Amino acid sequence: MPLDRIRNFSIVAHIDHGKSTLADRILELTETLSGRQMREQVLDSMELERERGITIKAQAVRVIWKGHQLNLIDTPGHVDFTYEVSRALQACEGAVLLVDAAQGIQAQTLANAFLAIENGLEIVPVVNKIDLPQADPDAAAREVADLVGDDVAGVLRISAKTGEGVGDVLDAIVERVPPPEGDPSAPPRALVFDSSYDQYRGVVAFVRVVDGRFETRQELRAMAAGTRFEAEELGFFSPGRSPTPTLEAGEVGYVVTGLKDVSRLRVGDTLTSARGGAAEPLPGYKDVKPTVFSGLYPTESDDYPELRDALEKLKLNDASLFYEPETSQALGFGFRCGFLGLLHMDIVRERLEREFDLDLLVTAPNVAYRVFTKSGQEVEVHSPADMPPDPERVDEPYIRATTIVPKDYVGTVMELNNDRRGRFHHMEYLSEERVMLAYDLPLAEIVYDYYDQLKSRTKGYASFDYDIIGFEEGDLVRLDVLLAGDPVDALSLVVHRSAAHARGKALVERLREEIPRQFFDVPVQAAIGSRIVARETIKAKRKDVLAKCYGGDVTRKRKLLERQKKGKKRMKQVGQVEVPQEAFLAVLNLDGDKK
Amino acid sequence: MSARDVRHLYVHLPFCAHRCGYCDFVTLVGRRDGHGAYVDALVQELELERGLLADRIETVFLGGGTPTFTDPAALARLLDALPPADEVTVEANPETVTPELASLLREGGVTRVSLGAQSFEPRLLEVLERRAGPDDVRRAFYHLRDACFDNISLDLIYGIPGQSPSDLDRDLSAAIALEPEHLSCYELEAKPGTRFTHAWGDELLVQADAMEAYFELVVERLVGAEYRWYETANFCREGRQARHNVGYWLGRDYLGIGIGAVSTVGGLRWRNAPKLAAYVSALAAGKPPPRDLEELDTSTRLRERLMLGLRLDEPLALAEVGAAVDPEAFERLRRLGLVREADGGLALTKRGRFLGGGVTAELFVENPAKTYN
């Protein structure tokens, strides 16, 4: 296909603004899929994606519209996957910016629109859901036009649900989005913007060809990783895999590599031919680092090998997942896992539980700390239990948080951010009613209960997004919990010194409620170093008997005691104290709902 | 099944004038016209299973339901058909005990009566939907004494919605004042999903919080009145244990007849189906009633032996139950002052007895096979 007949675009939108529905309608209208093959959210193939209405993995589908080849690259919309989004956007020349006519611009709309503009993409602004009774297409169109610096008349108005205006969107893509630039006769170069793992065929790379042409059976090289492999199959998605002998400059498709390890072909890398290949890789490759960590332990310690296998398998499909073995006195053998963010953590946990049928205990998440010891060493600490007792300095990651709220909630959000050690950055009125607030905050404050607080304090009206901006020094201390005098490593926290007392107090109170009474008094203490900052006592049980037991009751009563024994086995033995799994989650929401 | 060796016989008489809200036994309200046919069926089942019984059995226990609500002629016929035993106990509700009934029982060979008093507080009896008032309890007690019963037990329930510690204290005083030979004191067990639990939900939670203090009060008052706390929920004058129930707690075999009755003989336990019509028609045809069977393997029997034996105040021979005991748990509980070793036996300390259920669960060895290695 000549370059001027190709258009590569993506759709960027806030969650639930109709991205997947629009993609479905495009597949129908271009007759890529017959009505019979249609189902909701065709491109979101993972069960979890359909359920949550989000896209986790990028997808690329080729459609034909009025003699043009349009490649739709569907991207994950969430902040945790910003790097993946930016790679996917780099594979495009244009982006449809989709905004809900009832809700207007939201935080993710902004983040993704800025990403698209930064990547030099032509924006096609579209207001969706104009069929909704509460829609205000004029107001939404004004907001979008202001955002992209365009004329309100250029904003398309559609209903992806009914199909109204979807053809106009495709026309606008052909008219407004520039064709890809590239040199069809240069040595081949292609950007890897995502990959998936097929258990029979190995790593499948999703690529955008920039220069030259790739052929089946050609020997290829990944320029950053240095990995060599043969292109076992080339093809494009429609939306299933369609093999093709070649992929040419400007086209989007896939390469079956036969590689058995995703880490050997990372997102952002450049593919070229192994012999006579390009000299320069495409720009922008970056090794993404996890920002949020937590301990994952099997509920039944016998399941440790299953958890290890499951993490290995997930990692095949998710190169950004990090894990290393960890041993906790309280929880036994498990893994310290690193994630791109809280959503990523949630998704990994859910996939482990659903796809691998594992019962997991997830410790409270924490961020990565950079610790400088008195001896002048710098270490990265991923777990509060590894925090050295007397560091010279501790740096913690900071974010720039963008919050969009109706103006009545500005004070509320400011108060929350100030409580969380936030620094005001700037504020902007998006319209008369809606305000965008930018704050710099320690990431650790977001990890701890921030979303729930923001949601409840703004009655759900706030939308929120963030970017990591770097590391800064913090006055941080390690808060330990002792049960009957024994420290419990899995309950340690790193907190700001000013909050240590209050958190310690809330934590021991919560633990007193969560840990059942034992055969003896159990002191619950919170300590900074050797200094106890809070204490509660779980009073010993005074009665634990089966009221009566005669000939007819024996089987039932025996089963009761056997269950009681089993219940005890499920608890974690910490020194002399039996601690239920739930107690390890108590640190997660100390201010939240109490039982 | 070891034939001709069973020395304890249970007979279930399900009929009641009325079903109390908290009750979870197999009971049937009214049906006076069916009593004769049911007793015929009981006698028939006894006949079918007689081969299991020893020549001379030790105890018979007639439980219910309300055995004393059974039609007197049918009841007399049943007592007549039962094999003689050292102890024959009948459960009675106070309102059913008349001088005539007392002498019917006496003449039928009954040696012991267990009287369901539950409380002496009218307000609380009403909550339990009991028909008898406090004076009915006293009157029944004296009728039994007049008929020369020298072995009477009173049942008390605590943790009744609306009950206060001083209510319980007064109940205990009233019971002690009657000088029964034996007392059984149970906490109220409200089963989830029942009408009773639904009606008293919040108040049951209040009572659950108070339950440990109630249990301590019961033990303190009755031991103070020189009753022996010989089983978790049972108290007696010296030598007046309920021998039938002690049979259960010592893990002896027993035969149960009647609807819903359970038997345990050798490694087999069976429970008769709780349906009256099926029971009566099967036996009328000379066949055993429908039953659920449960096979008890060695480790299960040992766990039961441990669970039941630890309810008693005498040590349990370690030679007998040792294989069911987790040695590490034993050591841990010993250090906590909850169990002790006495003359090659395993016993609970006083505090251990208050925590007996939890302690037993903890003592259960996880995999009994392990300790045989």
The pLDDT assigned to B156 comes to 97
The pLDDT assigned to B1 comes to 47
> Mind telling me how many Å the CA of A72 is from chain B's nearest CA?
56
Where residue A191 falls (left for φ over 0; alpha for ψ -120 to 50; beta otherwise) is: beta
- Chain B's closest residue to A520, CA to CA, is B336
- Is residue A442 within 8 A of residue A397, CB to CB? The reply is yes
- Chain B's closest residue to A558, CA to CA, is B304
Q: pTM value? A: 0.69
The pLDDT assigned to A344 comes to 85
- Chain B's closest residue to A518, CA to CA, is B358
What are the residues facing B256 on neighbouring strands?
Answer: B10
Chain A positions touching B156 (Cβ under 8 A) are none
The verdict on B51 and B132 lying in the same domain is yes
- Cβ-based neighbours of B237, under 8 Å, separated by 6 or more: B181, B182, B226, B227, B228
> What is the CA angle A297-A531-A573, rounded to 5?
30
Chain A positions touching B303 (Cβ under 8 A) are 558, 561-562
Chain A positions touching B218 (Cβ under 8 A) are none
Residue with the bigger pLDDT between A422 and B365: it is A422
For B311, the closest of A549, A552, A576 (CB atoms) is: A549
* pLDDT score of B351 more than 50: yes
Backbone angles phi, psi at B291, to 5 degrees: -140, 150
Reference A465, options A36, A33, A15; nearest CA is A15
What CATH number did the domain enclosing B351 receive? 1.10.10
CATH architecture of A189-273: Beta Barrel (2.40)
**A323-370 tens-digit pLDDT:** 999 998 888 899 999 998 887 888 888 889 888 889 888 888 899 999
Boundaries of domain holding B312: 298-372
Reduced to 3 states (helix: H, G, I; strand: E, B; else coil), residue B317 is strand
Chain A positions touching B254 (Cβ under 8 A) are 551
**Structure-token pair, residue B133:** 């008032």
**Structure-token pair, residue A515:** 């840990």
Chain A positions touching B262 (Cβ under 8 A) are 551-552, 554-555
Mean pLDDT of chain B: 93
Reference B20, options B161, B128, B163; nearest CA is B128
Question: Which amino acid would we find at residue A325?
Answer: P
Q: Is residue B281 part of a domain?
A: no
The verdict on B55 and B158 lying in the same domain is yes
The pLDDT assigned to A120 comes to 86
- Chain A's closest residue to B208, CA to CA, is A543
> Mind telling me how many Å the CA of B233 is from chain A's nearest CA?
7
> Mind telling me how many Å the CA of A519 is from chain B's nearest CA?
8
* pLDDT score of A437 more than 80: yes
Backbone angles phi, psi at A554, to 5 degrees: -60, -50
ipTM of the complex: 0.92
Residue range A3-176 in CATH 3.40.50.300 = yes
Sheet holding B182-187, edge to edge: B228-231, B234-236, B182-187, B152-158, B112-118, B85-92, B57-64, B8-13, B255-257
Reference A460, options A417, A505, A406, A511; nearest CA is A406
> What does the alpha-carbon distance between residue B180 and residue B137 come to, in Å, rounded to a whole number?
12
> What does the alpha-carbon distance between residue A319 and residue B314 come to, in Å, rounded to a whole number?
65
Contact (CB<8Å) B364/A541 = no
Which class is A477-589 in CATH? alpha beta
**A272-286 tens-digit pLDDT:** 999 989 999 998 777
For B358, the closest of A544, A554, A562 (CB atoms) is: A544
A-proximal residues of B, 273-302, CB under 8 Å: 294, 300
Reference A590, options A534, A544, A531; nearest CA is A534
The verdict on B194 and B312 lying in the same domain is no
B371 pLDDT band, cuts 50/70/90, is very low
> What does the alpha-carbon distance between residue B263 and residue B296 come to, in Å, rounded to a whole number?
12
Choice among A34-38, A62-66, A438-442 with the minimum mean pLDDT: A34-38
The verdict on B241 and B315 lying in the same domain is no
Task: Give the pairing type, strands B57-64 and B8-13.
Answer: parallel
Interface with B, mutate which of A565, A566, A568, A577 (most B CBs under 10 A): A565
- 3-state percent helix, strand, coil for chain B, nearest multiple of 5: 45, 25, 30
Backbone angles phi, psi at A267, to 5 degrees: -60, 135
**A59-75 tens-digit pLDDT:** 788 999 999 999 998 77
> What does the alpha-carbon distance between residue A388 and residue B144 come to, in Å, rounded to a whole number?
78
For A565, the closest of B212, B338, B364 (CB atoms) is: B364
Chain B positions touching A546 (Cβ under 8 A) are 232, 356-357
* pLDDT score of A524 more than 80: yes
The pLDDT assigned to B3 comes to 60
Interface check A153 vs B, CB under 8 A: no
Question: Domain boundary residue among B216, B231, B248?
Answer: B248
Reference A292, options A258, A234, A341, A219; nearest CA is A341
- Chain A's closest residue to B354, CA to CA, is A543
Interface check B309 vs A, CB under 8 A: no
> Mind telling me how many Å the CA of A547 is from chain B's nearest CA?
6
Contact (CB<8Å) A545/B357 = yes
Interface check A550 vs B, CB under 8 A: yes
**Structure-token pair, residue A188:** 């081949």
For A550, the closest of B248, B303, B353 (CB atoms) is: B248
Interface with B, mutate which of A522, A549, A577, A595 (most B CBs under 10 A): A549
* pLDDT score of A393 more than 50: yes
- Is residue A59 within 8 A of residue A237, CB to CB? The reply is yes
Interface check B337 vs A, CB under 8 A: no
> What does the alpha-carbon distance between residue A574 and residue A518 come to, in Å, rounded to a whole number?
12
> Mind telling me how many Å the CA of B255 is from chain A's nearest CA?
9
Contact (CB<8Å) B271/A543 = no
Cα-Cα-Cα-Cα dihedral sign, residues A207, A212, A218, A224: negative
- Chain A's closest residue to B357, CA to CA, is A545
Task: Give the pairing type, strands A463-473 and A393-406.
Answer: antiparallel
Chain A positions touching B251 (Cβ under 8 A) are none
Interface check A564 vs B, CB under 8 A: yes
**Can you tell me the mean pLDDT for A80-89?**
76
- Is residue A56 within 8 A of residue A346, CB to CB? The reply is no
Chain B positions touching A542 (Cβ under 8 A) are 212-213, 215-216, 354-355
Contact (CB<8Å) A552/B261 = yes
**A177-189 tens-digit pLDDT:** 999 999 999 999 9
Reference A103, options A461, A510, A524; nearest CA is A461
The pLDDT assigned to A46 comes to 53
- 3-state percent helix, strand, coil for chain A, nearest multiple of 5: 30, 35, 35
Query: For chain B, what percent of residues have pLDDT higher than 90?
Result: 82
- Is residue B109 within 8 A of residue B90, CB to CB? The reply is no
**B165-207 tens-digit pLDDT:** 999 999 999 999 999 999 999 999 888 878 888 888 888 888 8
Interface check A302 vs B, CB under 8 A: no
Cβ-based neighbour number of residue A290 at 10 Å: 19
Residue with the bigger pLDDT between A124 and A388: it is A124
> Mind telling me how many Å the CA of A559 is from chain B's nearest CA?
10
The verdict on B243 and B311 lying in the same domain is no
**A158-169 tens-digit pLDDT:** 999 999 999 999
Residue whose pair of structure tokens reads 């320069």 in the numeric block: A280
Residue with the bigger pLDDT between A288 and A27: it is A27
Choice among A38-52, A197-211, B227-241, B249-263 with the minimum mean pLDDT: A38-52
What CATH number did the domain enclosing B52 receive? 3.80.30.20
The pLDDT assigned to A13 comes to 85
Q: Is residue B363 part of a domain?
A: yes
Contact (CB<8Å) B332/A576 = yes
Question: Which amino acid would we find at residue A5?
Answer: R
The verdict on B55 and B179 lying in the same domain is yes
- Cβ-based neighbours of B221, under 8 Å, separated by 6 or more: B169, B172, B173, B176
- As a dihedral over the C-alpha atoms of residue B36, residue B41, residue B47, residue B51, rounded to 10 degrees, the angle is -140
Q: Is residue B37 part of a domain?
A: yes
Q: Is residue B207 part of a domain?
A: yes
- Is residue A209 within 8 A of residue A190, CB to CB? The reply is yes
- Cβ-based neighbours of A243, under 8 Å, separated by 6 or more: A216, A233, A234, A235
* pLDDT score of A434 more than 60: yes
- Cβ-based neighbours of B28, under 8 Å, separated by 6 or more: B14, B15, B16, B65, B276
Reduced to 3 states (helix: H, G, I; strand: E, B; else coil), residue B178 is coil
Residue with the bigger pLDDT between A318 and B48: it is B48
The pLDDT assigned to B368 comes to 46
- Chain B's closest residue to A552, CA to CA, is B262
A371 pLDDT band, cuts 50/70/90, is very high
Interface check B304 vs A, CB under 8 A: yes
Classify residue A355 as exposed, middle or buried by CB count within 10 Å of its CB (0-12, 13-18, 19+). Answer: middle
* pLDDT score of A297 more than 80: yes
The pLDDT assigned to B355 comes to 96
Classify residue A429 as exposed, middle or buried by CB count within 10 Å of its CB (0-12, 13-18, 19+). Answer: exposed
Q: How many folded domains does chain B comprise?
A: 2
Classify residue A350 as exposed, middle or buried by CB count within 10 Å of its CB (0-12, 13-18, 19+). Answer: middle
A55 pLDDT band, cuts 50/70/90, is low
Q: Which residue ranges does chain A devote to CATH 3.30.70.870?
A: 292-363
For B364, the closest of A545, A562, A576 (CB atoms) is: A562
Question: Which amino acid would we find at residue A334?
Answer: G
As a whole number of Å, the end-to-end CA separation of chain A is: 63
Q: Is residue B43 part of a domain?
A: yes
> Mind telling me how many Å the CA of B312 is from chain A's nearest CA?
12
The verdict on B169 and B77 lying in the same domain is yes
**Structure-token pair, residue A73:** 């690259």
Q: Is residue B357 part of a domain?
A: yes
Q: Is residue B59 part of a domain?
A: yes
The verdict on B226 and B351 lying in the same domain is no
Report how far apart, in Å, the C-alpha atoms of A169 and of each of A12, A124, A154, B338 are.
Answer: 14, 8, 11, 77
The verdict on B219 and B337 lying in the same domain is no
Q: Which residue ranges does chain A devote to CATH 3.30.70.240?
A: 371-474
Q: Is residue B95 part of a domain?
A: yes
Cβ-based neighbour number of residue A162 at 10 Å: 12
> What does the alpha-carbon distance between residue B34 and residue B161 come to, in Å, rounded to a whole number?
35
Interface with A, mutate which of B62, B218, B335, B336 (most A CBs under 10 A): B336
B62's enclosing H/E stretch is: strand B57-64
Contact (CB<8Å) A552/B186 = no
Q: Which residue ranges does chain A devote to CATH 3.30.70.2570?
A: 477-589
Residue range A371-474 in CATH 1.20.1600.10 = no
CATH architecture of A292-363: 2-Layer Sandwich (3.30)
Reference A5, options A157, A180, A160; nearest CA is A180
Question: Which amino acid would we find at residue A37?
Answer: Q
Report how far apart, in Å, the C-alpha atoms of B130 and of each of A510, B16, B97, B138, B159 are.
Answer: 42, 11, 15, 15, 15
